[in-house]
Chain A
Amino acid sequence: MDADLSPYLSAASESETDQCLDELILFHAAPVVRRILRFKLGLYVSDQGTNRDNPEAEDVYQEAITRIVKTLQDLKASSRLTEIENFKQYVSSIATNICIDVLRAKSPVKYRLKHNVRDIFNRHRDFRAWKIGDETVGGFAVWQGTERLAASARQIHELEDDLETFRLARFRNEDVRHLPITRLVAEILEWIGRPISIDDLTIIVGRLLQIEDQRSEELPLESFPEELAFGKDELTADSVLAAKELLARLWQAVQHLPPQQRDAYCLSFEDSDGADLFSLLLEKGVATIPQIGKALGRSVTDINRLRSGMPLDHLAIAAELESTRALVAQWRFRAIRHLRKELGVEKKQK
């Protein structure tokens, strides 16, 4: 049995059990889950399991944590000796299985269908997409600016529940699958009589076209490696001293980057273990929090806040830097290009 589990399993009181469970999740499970979600799915959550820009990331994280907590509670209740010899590895396998479930639930075909539907609204002059509140809706171009309300959830459900009536009314004697999507979209809009969210519209079009979810056996598991290697252009240091020296060089180079490139790189950085840059600088003794703050022109409070969420994805960095995801990607790309030269990666390749 893993020694990390011992305090929890041997806790006598309820409060002691709760405290041990809290620590198991906080110190052992959460960092592993975060890392797995980043590596496997590119889903980023903070130390607290939050991501204000990506609810999906929060949901997947919470599902993993919930499953782990349930396993631990069952383990405690069963009074049996656990077969878990490595808790972190066990957490890793749970998180990986959840990632596979997430991938299986996603249908690339439907994802592409949504792109196609959106494209119609962007390109056909008789259709328009616009925002109503936070939602992007599509409708006939002549509806734009008329303050029509978007289709209600009830209307959508009614149509979805009785799609056959709609099909017979509008496409009798026609094979819907062979009709242009523009026609389907027009008929749906006419039927509903209001603009409709692009997501809902895509679902209805998908059902009309009888697009099925991707079956699990079709999941390209070969593109889902157990451990994600960094691949080429790695910088490695095997000893503690060498690691500190390498990190110091990197930190020095980073500070010479233009501010936006520097910030984009710092906030997104992670090493092969999933450690963020600020934690790594602390661990290796290269820089303290106040020194990091000074280098980046930020307060200690700000650096602590940022570290709790790091590494950040492009969207979160964009929000932090009050920019766009595309610009952040560009800044990060230019930073990497610059650092490759500074740290001799280009020369090494030649």
Chain B
Amino acid sequence: MQEHCAQAEIKRFAVSALPAVKMDEVANHLADCTTCHQVLADRLKGQKTSDGLQLSLDPVSLFRHDHLDYKQLVAVADHKLDADEQEITNLHLSDCARCREDVSSLLAFRKEIEPELRVRYGPSAGKPTEAPVAPPQPWTQWLWKPAYVVAMVVIAIGLLLAVLYTRRKTENLEARQTPPNVNTSATTTPTPETHVGNYLPSPPPVPPKESPLLAPSPALVVRNRETVGTSPNPASVSVLNDGSARVTIDKTGNVTGLDQLPPDLRREIAEVVITQSIPTPEILNELAGTPINLRGSDEAPKFKLRLPARTVILSDRPSFQWEALPAATSYQVSVGDLNGHEVARSEQLSSDRTSWTPHLPLKRGEIYVWEVEAIVDGKKVLSPGTSETQMKFKILPDESARKLEELKKGNSRLALGVFYAHQGMLSEAEREFGLLIRENPRSPLLKKLLVQIRSR
């Protein structure tokens, strides 16, 4: 550029408001042209308040806007700043009250939250799965020291190997002819993660494929059914009218509307709804009993025992009921435990009686067997008969009875129904689901569940 720059160009050059190519041209021209350079100098001077110069080499002033971000705050809290960083940070903190407060706030938060770091959380248990470990317990503190944890891992490996060795030895003794088939894949070496899991409540069994390495929650059953890699759809699976409440269960197992329930029951309900199935409780198989053939002739007249019949009952003084046997002159009820000991026996009841209630309560949580002896023509007729299975029942354990009392206060038929079904109290479960269907007549889910209950 040989000619002088236009005034407008220099004016725009001063504020970098020219196209890049033009900026370069003007810059090169200004370097060689004192006249144009003076125009620029005057222009730049016009933006200033004085002819002089005032600049600062005060680091406090120069770093006043260098506020601490989260990483820097953490570095301060963790004492991970090097000498220069520490000096810069201190300079800024000496001038910035807000950042000082940020540091104090983070340190205070860390102190406050320290005990909570030991509380475990998992995807299906927002509430702590383990009570906070109280610091005063000395034995809990060494659990967290790495050396002890390593030692425990070593001990755990040793125990595992010892168990395997013993089992193998036993197998060898039992089957000397056959070499033991050692499945090396089954002997997993405990990792720190799996070892840490030993401090936690045992989670229910989940399919190995879906089980996380570290199971932080005792109730991962529903959550872990989600296929890994697919996004869960939190949309509701079911919305049910339940008394005055409206209960919503979504695919991730969240239950709303039953907030008063304990988390484990909420999870059970979610599982029932999501899987659309009520599992048969093991107790019902136990109560089903097996046929017996040791009690005399089967040619005698028969009569049926009605209640309690192969179920779990709430009352510890059940009302035993049976069908009348024609020509019977009296009845006598006897109740025994599974060891064959008689625990209760009625007096001789008149022929018009078809029920009896023991005077004393039976022990809760126990399984009992009962029978009725009728007298017909002077002969004893037993029910169940010789080819029939024993009539068993179980009395709801204390803890479950207390839970049930609490549940009844909540007026949730869904909760009661699921509870009864899980406890093996099928008639009660049937009643609750029947009533629930009245409130939700278009619910195929409830109908399906009711069919399952009735089929047992």
Contacts and interface: CB of A to CB of B under 8 A. Distances in A.
A246 B443 CA distance: 87
Interface string A281-317: 0111100111100000000110111011000011000
Contacts of A149: 231
A27 B11 contact: yes
A148 B105 contact: no
Interface string A230-255: 11111111111011001100100000
A301 B24 contact: yes
Given A118-B70, A142-B214, A233-B57, A126 B122 contact: yes
B105 A126 contact: no
B126 A233 contact: no
B24 A116 contact: no
Contact of B58 (A232, A247, A282): A232
A120 B106 CA distance: 11
B105 A115 contact: yes
Contacts of B121: 124, 126-127, 140, 182-183, 186
Given A146-B228, A189-B123, A336-B62, A119 B106 contact: yes
A170 interface: yes
A175 interface: no
B31 interface: yes
B54 A330 contact: no
Contacts of A194: 231-232, 234
Contacts of A127: 121
Nearest to A340: B57
Given A192-B234, A193-B254, A47 B54 contact: no
A228 to B, nearest CB: 8
Contacts of A340: 57
Interface string A85-125: 00000000000000000000000100110111011101111
B15 A235 contact: no
B23 A142 contact: no
B52 A240 contact: yes
Given A126-B121, A304-B20, A235 B57 contact: yes
Contact of A234 (B14, B44, B56): B56
A62 interface: no
A223 B99 CA distance: 13
A247 B117 contact: no
A172 interface: yes
* Of listed A47, A190, A240, residue having the most chain B CB within 10 A: A190
Given A116-B109, A172-B259, A275-B48, A183 B27 contact: no
Contacts of A190: 123-126, 252, 254
A209 to B, nearest CB: 13
Nearest to B58: A233
A269 B28 CA distance: 23
B44 A108 contact: no
Nearest to B32: A288
Nearest to A301: B24
A180 B116 contact: yes
Interface string A164-182: 0100111010000000111
A55 interface: no
B55 A126 contact: no
A334 interface: yes
Interface residues of B, number: 85
A303 to B, nearest CB: 7
Given A27-B11, A336-B57, A115 B106 contact: yes
A284 B47 CA distance: 13
A117 to B, nearest CB: 10
Given A112-B105, A126-B121, A142-B212, A333 B84 contact: yes
A220 interface: yes
Interface in B8-22: 11-12, 14-17, 20
A58 B318 CA distance: 79
B63 A223 contact: no
* Of listed A149, A230, A242, residue having the most chain B CB within 10 A: A230
A191 B48 CA distance: 58
Nearest to B13: A304
Contacts of A155: 234
A49 B106 CA distance: 35
A42 B67 contact: yes
A130 interface: no
Contacts of B98: 108
B113 interface: yes
Contact of B120 (A126, A282, A345): A126
Contacts of B214: 141-142
Contacts of B30: 282, 288-289
A161 interface: no
Contacts of A122: 74
Interface string B81-116: 000110110000000011001100110011001001
A134 interface: no
B53 A148 contact: no
A163 interface: no
B332 interface: no
Contacts of B70: 114-115, 118
A314 B232 contact: no
B53 A271 contact: yes
Interface string B225-256: 00011011010000000000000001010101
* Of listed B27, B53, B105, B128, residue having the most chain A CB within 10 A: B53
B415 interface: no
24 contacts: A27-B11, A112-B102, A116-B106, A119-B74, A124-B121, A127-B121, A147-B229, A148-B231, A180-B116, A182-B113, A183-B116, A193-B232, A230-B55, A230-B61, A235-B56, A235-B57, A236-B52, A275-B44, A284-B53, A300-B24, A301-B24, A314-B66, A336-B57, A336-B62
Given A146-B229, A183-B126, A304-B16, 12 more contacts: A31-B15, A112-B109, A122-B74, A123-B113, A142-B213, A193-B254, A232-B61, A282-B41, A288-B31, A313-B65, A326-B72, A330-B85
- Shortest 10 CB-CB contacts between residues of A and residues of B: A42-B65, A308-B16, A233-B58, A243-B53, A187-B126, A230-B56, A288-B31, A193-B252, A289-B27, A283-B44
